[in-house]
Amino acid sequence: MGFLASLGAPVRRFLVFLGDQAHLVLQTLRYALTLRLDQLPVVGAQARLQIRFTGLDALLLTCGTALLLGGVTLIQAFSQLSGLGAENYIGLLMVLIIFRELGPLLTAVLVIGRSATAIAAELGTMQLNGEVDALAAHGVNPYQYLLLPRWLGVLVSVFALVVFFDASALVGGFLVARLKHGVTLGFFMDSVRDALMNRDLAATLLKVALFSGAIAFHACHYGLGIRRSQTEIPQAVTKTVVSALVAVFLLDGLVTAFFYF
């Protein structure tokens, strides 16, 4: 019985975690649909703050990372495919490596490292200070004021960062292709356009939606789960990073299998 209990305990904790996540998502969506017009400016202001921190403040880091990644991708491709007409596969390589996988995935990883940790720590501090209970006592719905703006802010930010990531990676790839093989901008863009399909765009949009939800609600779950002391905050931050990373990689695999398997 002890052996069976040791096997069942992790499963039970996982199912409880999924139930808590589903509760957060459903309650946030429910109260989002009941927002009054006079509440929209407040929610919008909170969402803009989240967008500024998650998206705007991370733009330079994201673009710089993507620029280097796009260049390195084609440097490695040219070194492995030299003599085989590597310049003819530029567009395909950029779409397969950057658009389909690394663009959404690395953007999500950067957002987890910067923003999910901050959200978890912020909400955890508010929970310890009694601010969440105070909001509820004054008639302010925590789902509308705390969770909804953060989810919307992360959603908008991840979408924008993926767009800038892909664009910067294309610039990096083009610079390498231009210097290495004298590829023109027209040829480069035509190659990418020919390799890019509608399902690539659909898969990217679905990943953005799923990744942003996983990042925001994992952070909110662990942040609001803090109850006793300040020492729980770093633990919650660590759990947020690990849990969100696992969720993002699992979702990435599921979406990729659905669209391309």
- Check if the beta carbon of residue 47 is closer than 8 Å to that of residue 153: yes
What is the spatial distance between Cα 66 and Cα 70, in angstroms, rounded to a whole number?
A: 6
Residue 18 lies in a domain: no
> Number of folded domains in the chain?
1
Residue 14 lies in a domain: no
Residue 26 lies in a domain: no
> 26 or 14: whose pLDDT is higher?
26
Instruction: Mention every residue, 6+ apart, whose C-beta is less than 8 A from residue 48.
Output: 153
Cβ neighbours of 200 (radius 10 Å): 16
Cβ neighbours of 236 (radius 10 Å): 22
Residue 211 lies in a domain: yes
Global confidence as pTM = 0.91
Residue 9 lies in a domain: no
Distances (CA, A) of 8 to 2, 55, 92, 159, 247: 10, 40, 46, 38, 21
Instruction: Mention every residue, 6+ apart, whose C-beta is less than 8 A from residue 243.
Output: 218, 222
Cβ neighbours of 126 (radius 10 Å): 19
pLDDT in tens, 118-159: 999 999 999 998 898 898 888 889 999 999 999 999 999 999
Structure tokens, 260: 């391309």
| Residue-by-residue DSSP string for 42-54 | HHHHHHHHHHIII
Residue 39 lies in a domain: no
Cβ neighbours of 56 (radius 10 Å): 13
What is the spatial distance between Cα 111 and Cα 247, in angstroms, rounded to a whole number?
A: 14
Closest CA to 201 of 150, 255, 121: 255
Looking at residue 75, what is its pLDDT? 84
Q: Quick one: average pLDDT of 189-213?
A: 92
Residue 21 lies in a domain: no
Looking at residue 3, what is its pLDDT? 61
What is the spatial distance between Cα 55 and Cα 52, in angstroms, rounded to a whole number?
A: 5
Residue 174 clears pLDDT 70, i.e. is over it? yes
- Confidence bin at 62 (pLDDT 50/70/90): very high
Rounded to 5 degrees, φ, ψ at 58 are -100, 5
Residue 256's domain comprises: 44-260
Q: Quick one: average pLDDT of 32-41?
A: 89
Looking at residue 238, what is its pLDDT? 94
Residue 237 lies in a domain: yes
